[in-house]
Amino acid sequence: MKYPRLGVNIDHVATLRQQRGEFYPEVTRAAEVSLATGAHQITIHLREDRRHIQDRDVPETHNMCRKFKLPLNLEMGCSDEMVQIAILEKPEWVCLVPEKRAERTTEGGLDVLDPINYARVKAACETIKKMSPATKISLFVEATPQVLSKCLTVRADAVEIHTGEYAKDFLNKKDLSNHFKMYREGRSIIKAQGWGYHAGHGLTFESLEPLLAEKQFEEYNIGHWIMGEALFLGLGHVIKEMLTLMKKYPLEA
């Protein structure tokens, strides 16, 4: 049976570390526990303002992933600086995301319909693919047909659908049918081209299950909720619980 993959985002281990400027809690230790427990990859976001993950965390976390022969998924903006870091580090995955200094967390998907933004995304993809051919690229976007069709015109390998609005509506007990309809339609567009169809942002144990039942996404990247629960239950325990839930919902052949 084939099951969805779980990427564990460990950014907020670094958030806690940076609050005191200490060496702990160690980002690599979080990566090690996550991977040893069964996570399928580690996700980190190196932001321009370095509010949590620092430059040194990228190679150190990548080395830990290599130890387990599992991928590092490096989230990053499309700036020249970040593209150069990706080229030097050559992670297995890069996820291109929008970035604003004033935001608390990523607030939405890439605006690939804007000509200027589209040009930046396309150029970043071209450069990464040229200089690090083995690195796969995903685009963090909204699940609208226009956006997804536009994504397919650049050199990338997958989209990661921004599930933030779905997560909010779930929390507020609103009707979710429009989200599911959009995700199903989005999958048909993306899979027709053989791309990966991933999801992430704002998901919790409870809001993940309806998405698993829909069997649309092959990979979920989840961080903030896992780290919050880990404060009370332990990181390994939380990941085991989430993987157990995922194994209730095998993907269609």
Which residues are known catalytic residues?
Answer: 45, 75, 201
User: What is the 3 state secondary structure string of 20-88?
Assistant: HCCCCCCHHHHHHHHHHHCCCEEEEECCCCCCCCCCCHHHHHHHHHHHCCCCEEEEECCCHHHHHHHHH
How far apart are the C-alpha atoms of 38 and 43, rounded to whole Å?
14
Classify strands 72-76 and 219-222 as parallel, antiparallel or unpaired: unpaired
How far apart are the C-alpha atoms of 206 and 171, rounded to whole Å?
9
Helix (H) or strand (E) holding 167: helix 164-171
How far apart are the C-alpha atoms of 18 and 65, rounded to whole Å?
22
Helix (H) or strand (E) holding 159: strand 158-162
- DSSP per-residue codes, 203-249: --HHHHHHHHHHT--SEEEE-HHHHHHHHHH-HHHHHHHHHHHHTTS
Which of these, 72, 117, 74, 67, lies nearest to 96 by C-alpha position? 74
